[in-house]
Chain A
Amino acid sequence: MKHKVATTVNGQRREHEVEPRLLLVHYLRDVVGLTGTHIGCDTSQCGACTVTVDGKAVKSCTMFAVQAEGKSITTIEGMAAKDGTLHPLQQAFWDEHGLQCGFCTPGFIMAASYLLSQNPNPTEDEIRQGLEGNLCRCTGYVNIVKSVQSAAKAMNGSKANAGEHSAAARRS
């Protein structure tokens, strides 16, 4: 049986009848037609499908469209200003060479936008930790971290924290 689902996607109201099992990511890509949200795994690790739902970053492959009833979703297509001006994070990924193949990039930008909404001035370690739910195979993350630092700076008008990075900090 199909269920009605009404959402707001990038500020635009959407109403559809969907199967309960329709994953949110397929809803966005195949029903709404926004293909910027990508699918990179089956098990909720890679984060390529990250969008924000009511301001919180979620993996849209691990949520059913019916769960988004009444919610406001932002995808990568909703990040730039109406006049086409890139969001500071988009601009920073461009400026800092924070992407190569670009497939993981929308997920990283959405995860980073949530991170900066929670912590506008993160240290390098906090950025790395904040992006633990996203995998990239091209960049070694070096320039992704730089991109988020640079975006934070642009968004705050202040200098992002410098902090010592230690990969083992939370492990033992």
Chain B
Amino acid sequence: MIPAAFEYARASSVEEAVKLLKNYGEDAKVLAGGHSLIPLMRLRLAQPSALVDINGIKGLDQIKESGGKLHIGALARHVSIHNSQVVKDKLPLLAEVAAEVGDNQIRNMGTIGGVVAHADAAGDYPTIALMLDADIVTNKRTIAAKDFFKDIFTTPLAADEIVTEIVFPVANGPHKYIKFRRRLFDWAIVGAAAQKMDGGWRIGLTNVGPTPVRAKAVEEALHKGAKPEEAAQHASDGLNPSGDLRASPEYKKHLARVLTKRAIEQAG
């Protein structure tokens, strides 16, 4: 399977990348890790007219704590996030989630910025970003995660807008992400994340709708003192997932409840 032809340019700065994107027009795409994009291009389900390769932009892969927040550069690879001591210290949930994305080879190439910008409902990071109120920073602005994941594969990003970093709050209390899937390297059939933070719980769900979901009803029930098992019953409140090859809508809702319960119980 062979991609359609495209023009290609390497950018050495965000400014240059933006300029290139403008020049190429709206059918151009950013090439970061390429692990969502290239398979789609090989199947010719994506045929961008041009790719702007941002892999050479220095500093865009930085991971640091600053101002009480955890800043993850858009080009940070999954493997770097997983291995980062800063991430392990400040947001261990994110380090653990990074190890659940794809496989070793994919984690060596894939980037957090790519996953977030791609906004696949089955992506793992978007769930964490949403439930923790992360900010998605671009060359133009800062977008709150709750305003970023609009629909499946749909974000407010403009054609000449590039995600530069994701800013997470620091949270190193009890946490757990459970990614339920058939094979170890698969996308989530359903994922559930729990993070103790600011005295309460944050609960997020993956692949139970067109966007990641923050299960506020569960958070509130826990806040009111409900046991995990009781609170988790609310995980499917308001969900309307679509069925697919691996799960019916009902099963996904059921998994949302079961996995949420387990995530809270297993959070450590």
Q: Please give, as numbers and ranges, the residues of chain B lying within 8 Å of A1 by CB-CB distance.
A: 7
Distance between A44 CB and nearest chain B CB, rounded to angstroms:
5
B178 interface residue (CB < 8 Å to A): yes
In the complex, what distance in Å separates the CA atom of A23 from the CA atom of B8?
13
Name the interface residues of A1-60: CB closer than 8 Å to any CB of B: 1, 3, 19-21, 23, 42-45, 47, 50, 56-59
- Please determine whether A59 and B262 come into contact, CB atoms closer than 8 angstroms: no
A172 touches B105 (CB 8 A): no
Who on chain A is nearest to B266 by CB? A172
Return the chain B residue nearest A19 by Cβ: B5
Taking a contact as CB atoms under 8 Å apart, the answer to whether B185 and A170 are in contact is no
Residues of A within 8 A of B4 (CB): 21
Tell me the nearest residue of chain A to B83, going by C-beta: A118
Kindly identify which residue among A20, A58, A69, A114 contacts B7, using a CB–CB cutoff of 8 Å.
A20
Kindly identify, within residues 76 to 130 of chain A, every residue whose CB is under 8 Å from any CB belonging to chain B. 111, 114-115, 129-130
Interface of B is mostly: mixed
Q: How far is the CB of A119 from chain B (nearest CB, A)?
A: 11
Best-buried of B1, B55, B180, B262 by chain A (most CB within 10 Å): B1
Binary interface profile of B, 22-34, with partner A (CB < 8 Å = 1, else 0)?
0000000001001
Stretch at the interface among B35-43, B136-144, B151-159: B35-43
Q: Which residues of B contact A139 (CB under 8 A)?
A: none
Chain A residues with CB under 8 Å of B41's CB are: 21
Q: Which residues of B contact A23 (CB under 8 A)?
A: 2-3, 38, 42
Chain A positions within 8 Å of B2 at CB level: 21, 23
Contact across chains for A133 and B185 when beta carbons are under 8 A apart: yes
Nearest CB in chain B: distance from A28 CB, A: 15
A interface size (C-beta, 8 A):
35
A42-B42, A44-B39 known; A58 and B6 CB under 8 Å? no
Please tell me if B108 contacts chain A, counting CB pairs below 8 Å: yes
User: B181 contacts A45, CB within 8 Å?
Assistant: no
A59 is contacted by which of B5, B106, B259 (Cβ under 8 Å)?
B106
User: A66 near B: Cβ within 8 Å?
Assistant: yes
B51 contacts chain A at the CB level, 8 A cutoff: yes
- B104: Cβ under 8 A from any A Cβ: yes
Check A151 for interface membership: any CB of B closer than 8 A. Answer: no
Contact, CB under 8 Å: B8 / A66: yes
Q: Is B247 an interface residue (CB 8 A)?
A: no
The answer to the question of A64 belonging to the interface, with a C-beta cut-off of 8 Å to chain B, is yes
Residues from 84 to 112 in B contacting A, C-beta threshold 8 Å: 100, 102-106, 108-109
Residues of A within 8 A of B79 (CB): 56
- Selected from B5, B8, B38, B100, the residue in CB contact (under 8 A) with A63 is B38
By the criterion CB–CB under 8 Å, are B38 and A44 in contact?
yes
The answer to whether B3 touches A21, judged by C-beta atoms less than 8 angstroms apart, is yes
Contacts of B10 in A (CB 8 A): 66, 69
A67 at the B interface (CB under 8 A):
yes
Give Cα A71 to B219, complex, Å.
48
- From the candidates B5, B43, B106, name the one contacting A133 in the complex (CB within 8 A): B106
| 17 sample A-B contacts, Cβ–Cβ < 8 Å, listed by A number | A3-B8, A21-B41, A44-B35, A57-B105, A59-B105, A59-B106, A62-B35, A62-B38, A64-B31, A64-B34, A64-B51, A114-B105, A132-B184, A133-B104, A170-B184, A171-B181, A172-B180
**A-B pairs, 3 with minimum CB distance:** A133-B103, A20-B8, A42-B1
Q: Which chain B residues have a beta carbon within 8 Å of chain A's beta carbons?
A: 1-8, 10, 31, 34-35, 38-39, 41-43, 51, 53, 55, 79, 100, 102-106, 108-109, 178-181, 183-185, 259, 262
A: residues with CB less than 8 A from B are: 1, 3, 19-21, 23, 42-45, 47, 50, 56-59, 61-64, 66-67, 69, 111, 114-115, 129-134, 170-172
| Given A57-B105, A130-B104, A171-B180, 14 extra CB contacts under 8 A | A20-B6, A20-B7, A23-B2, A43-B42, A59-B105, A62-B39, A64-B8, A66-B53, A111-B104, A111-B105, A114-B104, A132-B184, A171-B179, A172-B178
